[in-house]
Amino acid sequence: MRFDVLTIFPDMVRSALREGVVGRAVQQGRIELHCWNPRDFTQDRHRTVDDRPFGGGPGMVMKAEPLMAAVAAARQASPGARVIYLSPQGRVLDQAAVADMAQAPGLILIAGRYEGVDERFINACVDEEWSIGDYVLSGGELPALVLIDAVSRLLPGTLGHDESAAQDSFSAGLLDYPHYTRPEELQRQRVPAVLMSGDHARIARWRKKEALGRTWERRPDLLARRDLTPEEATLLAEYRQEWEA
Ligand SMILES: COc1ccccc1CNc1ccc(C(N)=O)cn1
């Protein structure tokens, strides 16, 4: 899959994607990453990418023309890509949206800076506006990196064991079960015996129950959105009995 990022800080984006599973996928060519700097698409000596807002007010606005020229170049290099603008005004991202994006041939991600971009650029060039959450950052680069990481994890071959992405609780609409590793006892806390039993069916059942129970405790909103199978309802009832015991 190909990711094109429009940013005035390309080194910030490139360096962040050198490490970890995504970095390895880029090195192995399973993921392509290209950065386009709007400054390279300016016509003036000062390579101006921002200007003062019409109507007054604080801060600067990113000029439309350099962005339009950069997006045209990116579209040519990545046919069929979805053009996504990361902003606090976008639809808030969730795992289902990430999974849908992983089906695209490519994503062209616009990382805004300053107070945002000229609305005419959004109207003319942007397919979708997305937010990584209800908070404001100094730029769209970190949201673009979040999106690239979340999508890349779902691409075949990115993770060591593909099923670990599938097992990801959010893919199942639930929170994750607790994880443990050596030592077996730590500050008088022992690893739950079931995990030492070698009984994989029993372990899977325990993990499902923990995921359901923790979702019920911490994120009832997620549970409300999810129909439980009869088995899941039984597991959650068991968890709640133990919890209220
Ligand atoms: C004032 O900043 C902006 C204003 C408008 C657009 C982009 C920016 C760049 N900042 C961003 C970008 C995305 C998110 C998010 N929640 O996804 C948060 N901040």
Q: Catalytic positions, please?
A: 88, 115, 153, 168
- How confident is the model over 156-162, as a mean pLDDT? 80
pLDDT, position 170: 72
pLDDT at 242: 94
Report, in this order, helix, strand and coil percent for the chain, each rounded to 5.
45, 15, 35
pLDDT computed for residue 159 by the predictor: 87
Whether ligand 1 lies within 6 angstroms of the CB of 140 is answered as yes
Q: Is 177 annotated as a binding residue?
A: no
Give the per-residue pLDDT at 81. Answer: 98
How far, in whole angstroms, is CA 56 from its chain's centroid?
34
Confidence of residue 245 (pLDDT cuts 50, 70, 90): confident
Q: What percent of the chain has pLDDT over 70?
A: 96
Mean pLDDT calculated for residue range 212-240: 96
pLDDT confidence of residue 167: 59
Q: What is the Cα–Cα distance from 75 to 108, expressed in whole angstroms?
A: 8
For residue range 136-145, what is the model confidence (pLDDT) as tens digits? Answer: 999 999 999 9
pLDDT of 168 reads 64
E-strand ranges in 22-151 read: 32-36, 50-51, 61-62, 82-92, 106-111, 128-131
CA-to-CA separations, 130 to 68, 171, 219, in angstroms, rounded:
19, 19, 22
pLDDT at 243: 86
Q: What type of residue is 200?
A: H
Between 89 and 21, whose confidence is greater? 89
Per-residue confidence (pLDDT) for residue 198, from 0 to 100 = 98
The protein residue whose alpha carbon is closest to atom 5 in ligand 1 is 116
Three-state SS letters, 2-23: EEEEECCCHHHHHHHCCCHHHH
Mean pLDDT for the chain overall:
95
Contact yes or no for 7/111 (Cβ under 8 A): yes
122 ligand 1 Cβ < 6 A: no
- Residue 142 structure tokens: 């970190």
| CA 18, 145, 105, 40 torsion-angle sign | negative
Q: What is the pLDDT of residue 84?
A: 99
User: How many alpha carbons fall within 13 Å on the CB side of residue 26?
Assistant: 18
Look at residue 167 and give its three-state secondary structure: helix
Q: From the centroid of its chain, how far is CA 40?
A: 28
Q: How far apart are CA 88 and CA 123, in angstroms?
A: 17
pLDDT digits (tens, 9 = 90+) for 37-63: 999 999 999 999 999 999 999 999 999
* Tens-place pLDDT, residues 203-223: 999 999 999 999 999 999 999
Q: What are 189's strand-pairing partners? A: 186
Ligand-binding annotation for 71, yes or no, is no
Q: Which two tokens stand for residue 38?
A: 């709007």
- Return the higher-pLDDT residue of 163 and 15: 15
190 strand-pairing partners: 185
pLDDT tens profile 56-108: 999 999 999 999 999 999 999 999 999 999 999 999 999 999 999 999 999 99
CB-ligand 1 contact for 58 (6 Å cutoff): no
